[in-house]
Structure 1
């Protein structure tokens, strides 16, 4: 960044991770221009920030060019869960690819650094475990998930081509299963699904036998990695994995959520979706070496914060009755 008081553009800034990033940057003294088309972002995530004179909210689709003056760009705009990005796969691809072109064009014109939040989905259903940044992945280019997987892979290509051809200062991070407060209630990802189902004593839906693994990274840890990546020198481009290397099966996650909520939910199994990765775990050696970064929040602690958030949200909507403060399971 350019230092205290600079103006930062956050695309997808009303989304789950983006809204947390906007709050953090404001707390550190930066001016923040939050851009979102609200296809998956929520105004409620950033409404409390509108009273801050250093915060500006602009409704805009990054698939269209944007002409603003900023000192730094964080490009987070894109639906991030399978139900969201499969709802309009063509628009998902446009957001990733045209959004990358437009934000890189802006960074080039302004001569400012730009960070791309890529994803562990670029590894597909990996044949290498854990996944290192040098691994090229095992992705189905024509499957139901390819609008997101290949869109993010293409965005990485565009970023590095702009870096090589135009000298744009780029940063690319690959995020692994971030979770925490301000996920959408209909987000569709495994943590939010399980928590919402458990809080309402609904059946916990597991696709497959639950032996597939994921590595869950609490949002505060993810943010720390993102911000540290942006603070590196121009020679550090990435991609760098940002995730928690502690691996859990989906069934273990479900059991932990049930225990922490004191839920009466039963587990029900459904067929595994196509191209669903069987194992997912980041190698974070580069993040440790380049950013001096490692996740600090244990899964149980992060789940406790997430459960508290959704319990309050569901109570406001009359979808749960009295709060059950059970938690622990750590």
Structure 2
């Protein structure tokens, strides 16, 4: 609700006062610079790679996630400031990196950890961890792509950056 209110304020200031505003709607963003104590799911998966621990899902992993590299997010916002249409909103997402949580867990176990860790499910009764209901939302980056910008960094490369793997330092 707060995001919608903020966007409406932006539209209003543009309409009433001519304030040039562009709205970026970022997907989940990670990559280089994410702190090791971050508790979001992608960071937990990266921590499993660091420690050599198996990934244990406490849900079926059916929620859809939309992701974009942190460096590309910065690039997209700067691009929007120069090329976006005033009072318009743009999703900043790499559609190729949209996947279910369990698919991301498998990718991390197989491609980032080179098969050294496994993925399993341990779903306790009653949702004691308080996880949100599954979502299936797929964001479209088509509007931003029509302006000439498109994300390129794969989810695999985002993890390699986040983990500080040698080719990114």
TM-score, with structure 2 as normaliser: 0.80
Match of 2:86 among 236, 251, 264: 236
CA RMSD between the two structures = 2.3
* Structure number with larger C-alpha Rg: 1
The answer to whether residue 120 in structure 2 is matched with residue 264 in structure 1 is no
Task: Measure the CA separation in 1 of the matches of 2:83 and 2:140.
Answer: 20
1:139-288 matches, within 5 Å, as: 150-232=1-83, 235-246=85-96, 247-259=98-110, 260-262=112-114, 263-264=116-117, 266-270=119-123, 271=127, 273=130, 275-288=132-145
- DSSP 3-state at the match of 1:174: strand
Displacement of 1:266 in angstroms is 4.7
- 1:294 aligned to which of 136, 139, 150: 150
Deviation at 1:274, TM superposition (A): 5.1
Work out which structure has the larger RCO, using CA pairs closer than 8 Å and 6 or more positions apart in sequence: 2
Question: Offset at 1:185?
Answer: 2.1
Q: Which of 157, 161, 166 is the aligned partner of 1:305?
A: 161
Q: Across the two proteins, how many residue pairs are aligned to each other?
A: 159
Any idea what SS the aligned residue of 1:182 has? coil
Name structure 1 gaps, 5 residues minimum. Answer: 1-149, 310-324, 326-330
Give CA-to-partner distance per residue, 1:14-45, whole Å, 9 cap, x none. Answer: xxxxxxxxxxxxxxxxxxxxxxxxxxxxxxxx
TM-score for both structures, normalised by structure 1:
0.44
Secondary structure of the residue aligned to 2:19 is coil
Asked if 1 retains the 8 angstrom alpha-carbon contact of 2:62 and 2:134, the reply is: no
